[in-house]
Structure 1
């Protein structure tokens, strides 16, 4: 009898706990959430085996079933969470300004001007307006904001 076989036999149901904790430790080292579900399944099998006397074949089948169930449940849970997160206009910074009203620091001359918003200077296009005019952003074309005088 090898050392591993003897150790598993002596630990009994606790060997599932050890295996589950090893898988959870592997999850910390490996990217993603793959080993987490198998670690949870192993700990659950160890918990059941503490109270119910099962053969090793039944324990293995229970582990496989719980692993599949936890993987599918975990994937659907993470998919729902990731769909709710994030900023839809993260890579389209100018789209955040559509509909907002700003005051021109510099005039728009021959349809082109500049607008400072927070710490960014944007190129703007629109009708000629003097500095100090209130303008509304209507659209974004690449890195340029399309503006018009604000009427409100």
Structure 2
């Protein structure tokens, strides 16, 4: 490849990379970041190995952009999933697992209200009577599945 063509395409990869990074700053979304870094990586490869053709560099750029984008997505998706499992934010019912309270009222079908701290919840359990000490074992929709605590 002619030296002027190598220099010309090197500058274009650099400009493309920086333009994508600048657009990422103005329109955040953490997606153009990976395309911009892929363009800068392609410029680096072309600088180190100037024998690559424009077609080979374009293929390298596309592969690198896909690898970086998918890699980030997998990392972030896994992190979001771990954070969602760890935190009880917006899942107050799941935060109730293991909590103890007392039966406020109970019907013959085992469904009633339980008192946990300063609030009441719909509960379901077997062989329960008013004022029994209970512990939350599971959650089913808006109902806490409880079990009588025997001490």
The TM tier, using the shorter chain, reads 0.5 to 0.7
Name the CA distance, whole Å, in 2 between partners of 1:138 and 1:84.
27
Please tell me whether the aligned partners of residues 100 and 116 of structure 2 are also in contact (alpha carbons under 8 angstroms): no
1:27 is aligned to 2:27: no
**Equivalence for 2:77:** 82
**Equivalence for 2:146:** 147
**Equivalence for 2:115:** 115
**Equivalence for 1:137:** 136
Task: Give 5+ residue unaligned stretches, structure 1.
Answer: 1-8
Name the CA distance, whole Å, in 2 between partners of 1:37 and 1:148.
51
Q: 5 Å matches for 1:1-152?
A: 12=8, 13-28=10-25, 29=27, 31=29, 33=31, 35-53=32-50, 58-86=53-81, 87-88=84-85, 93-98=92-97, 100-104=98-102, 107-110=104-107, 111=110, 112-117=112-117, 121-126=120-125, 127-130=128-131, 133-152=132-151
TM-score scaled by length of structure 2: 0.64
TM-score scaled by length of structure 1: 0.64
Name the CA distance, whole Å, in 1 between partners of 2:45 and 2:72.
24
Please tell me whether the aligned partners of residues 124 and 146 of structure 1 are also in contact (alpha carbons under 8 angstroms): yes
